[in-house]
Amino acid sequence: MINNILEKIGNTPLIALINNEEPNLNVFAKLEFYNPTGSVKDRAASYIINSLLNQGVINSETTIIESSSGNFGISLSAYAKQKGLKFICVIDNTTLPVNEMMIRLQGAEVIKISEPDERGGYLLNRIRKVKEIVENTDNIYWVNQYENPLNAQAYYNSLGNEICLEIPRQKLDYLFMGVSSGGTITGVSQKVKKQYPNAKIIAVDVEGSVIFGGQSRKRFIPGIGSSLRPKILDSAQIDDVITVDERETVSACIELLEKYNIYAGGSSGSVYAAVNKYFQMHKVDRSVNIMCVFADKGERYITTIYNPEWREMIESYNLTLA
Ligand SMILES: Cc1ncc(COP(=O)(O)O)c(C=O)c1O
């Protein structure tokens, strides 16, 4: 028995994605959307808030603030509320209504940025807004997931640890993870490499993201990718990077649903597409075990990835680029 559903973090299912056409590729998906609010980000939000309270960095009167338009905002609003902390979430015009609604329903104050910044996106203006509020508010803590070492530490101790516990049962050759703030891949790669140095860590990014030196471009699917390179990534242990485009992401999500009944979010599709793309380029002549992290669930993408009209819009946008 547990007293609160929010305590049920981790021990997420590991599912084999059996593909008879590629018998050498043993692909396993770690379904992180089985965390309490539906994404991997619960691990970071709960760890960060608990660590800050335990270390006395924040107290019951502290306001938490973060710029997030998706899963992290949802997770932080839930865990801040659980601890009776005020939470301000700075979002923007592109935030999906379902995410904004969840953040508000869980008691957060939402500030929405509608003015694009000089790069045409919203991130810089969101961060400016956060800094302005921090300067003018007493007893406030900016989580700053792109730079906060606690973000990577959370994944080192939770998801990284859990993956290492699976490895004696399922030897690990490759681990594929999507990247945005870099918290997941930094923490998990440090933990896994420490115990299993031969496991290859593959970072998955999307076209239009600048994290690994790509050209900045409009992106439609929230989750992975970023218009700035996160500082915490400097200590990640990454062997290779693979980039997919949003059409590959969408097709992979549909395939996951049709073939495996897995109704997953965008970055899970990107990671699955990346596995297939990677092993088309790097053929293997022996059986290899590949784990991929599926970060969130499909419901949040019902108006986008799983909506045929939206898919047509993405298709024609990409045709204009070609
Ligand atoms: C759906 C999804 N996948 C993957 C990630 C990447 O996680 P991280 O920020 O730890 O790099 C995120 C982060 O927001 C996400 O929302």
User: Closest ligand 1 atom, CA of 182?
Assistant: 11
Give residue-wise pLDDT tens across range 157-205. 999 999 999 887 778 999 999 999 999 999 999 999 999 999 999 999 9
- pLDDT category, 318, cuts 50, 70, 90? confident
CB atoms under 10 Å from CB of 210, counted, come to 16
Q: Look over the chain and give the mean of its residue pLDDT values, rounded to a whole number.
A: 95
Q: Do domains 5-34+155-321 and 41-142 have the same CATH topology?
A: yes
pLDDT of amino acid 321: 65
pLDDT of amino acid 322: 61
**Which residues fall within 8 angstroms of residue 194, CB to CB, at 6 or more apart?**
none
Mean pLDDT confidence for 245-272:
97
Give residue-wise pLDDT tens across range 210-230. 999 999 888 889 889 998 899
User: Closest ligand 1 atom, CA of 230?
Assistant: 11
**Which residues fall within 8 angstroms of residue 176, CB to CB, at 6 or more apart?**
202, 204, 242, 271, 274, 275, 278, 290, 291, 292, 293
- Token pair 């338009």 is found at 69
Is the CATH code 3.40.50.1100 the one for domain 5-34+155-321? yes
pTM for the full predicted model: 0.96
CB 76 within 8 A of CB 66: yes
Is the CB of 173 inside a 6 Å radius of any atom of ligand 1?
A: no
pLDDT of amino acid 315: 83
**CATH placement of domain 41-142:** 3.40.50.1100
Q: Whose CA is nearest to atom 16 of ligand 1?
A: 223
Q: Whose CA is nearest to atom 15 of ligand 1?
A: 223
CA–CA gap between residue 224 and residue 33 (Å, rounded): 15
What residue spans define the domains of the chain?
5-34+155-321, 41-142
Q: Is the pLDDT of residue 314 over 90?
A: no
Mean pLDDT confidence for 80-87:
98
Give residue-wise pLDDT tens across range 281-295. 999 999 999 999 999
User: Closest ligand 1 atom, CA of 296?
Assistant: 1
